[in-house]
Amino acid sequence: MSSATTTAPHPAGLARKLADSGLRSTPQREVVYEVLLKRRDHPTADEVFTRVKPELPSISLATVYNCLETLVQCDLVRAVNFERGPTRYCPNLIPHAHFHDEVTGQTHDIDLPPALFAKLKAVVPAGFDANAVEITFRGKFIASSVN
């Protein structure tokens, strides 16, 4: 597989991305990443821990934090925060917003047209050099009759 411009979120890509940063591929890192790809529901470190445990029963919570941090560093995963709640992790690398459901506590991805991102960055006054923007909606997810 030839290298793409955008990394496809694939367990296989992990080893390469890690090597690029001079880091080793380990079972712990692989399983943590797989878990994130498998269920993209923005789990917390603790939730990742319980999902990884059956596969690697001797893994520690500290290692889960380490692995998640490593994945974020390697730009394979995004850390998402909402109002001092525990950090959640998201393997969707395409710029997008988040919707936080205040009833269920769930976090959903919201796609945004790239033009909007551009417009947002355009309103930042001179003197401010913004290299990232974070957009979070808060509200309720209303069951749609369509499914």
Residues contributing to the site for its own copies (CB under 8 A): 3, 79, 81-84, 87, 97, 99, 108, 110-113, 116, 119-121, 123-144
130 binds, among its own copies, DNA, none (CB under 5 to 8 A by kind): its own copies
In angstroms, the CA 109 to CA 112 distance is 10
Residue 27, contacted partner among its own copies, DNA, none, CB below 5-8 A by kind: DNA
Could you tell which of its own copies, DNA, none binds residue 114, using a CB distance below 5 to 8 A set by kind? none
- H/E stretch holding 80 reads strand 78-80
Q: Give the nearer residue to its own copies in terms of CB position, either 10 or 138.
A: 138
The rounded distance, in Å, linking the Cα atoms of 28 and 121 is 37
Nearer to its own copies by C-beta: 12 or 124?
124
Please name the amino acid found at residue 36.
L
Q: Quick one: which of 95, 63, 75 has its CA closest to 20?
A: 75
Least separation in angstroms between residue 45's CB and its own copies is 12
Closer to its own copies by CB, 54 or 113: give it.
113
One-letter identity of residue 31: V
Q: Closer to DNA at the Cβ: 79 or 94?
A: 79
- Give the binding site for DNA (CB under 7 A): 18, 22-24, 26-29, 44-46, 56, 58-63, 65-67, 69-70, 84-87
CB-CB contact of 93 with 74 (8 Å): no
Radius of gyration over every alpha carbon of the chain, rounded to an integer in angstroms: 17
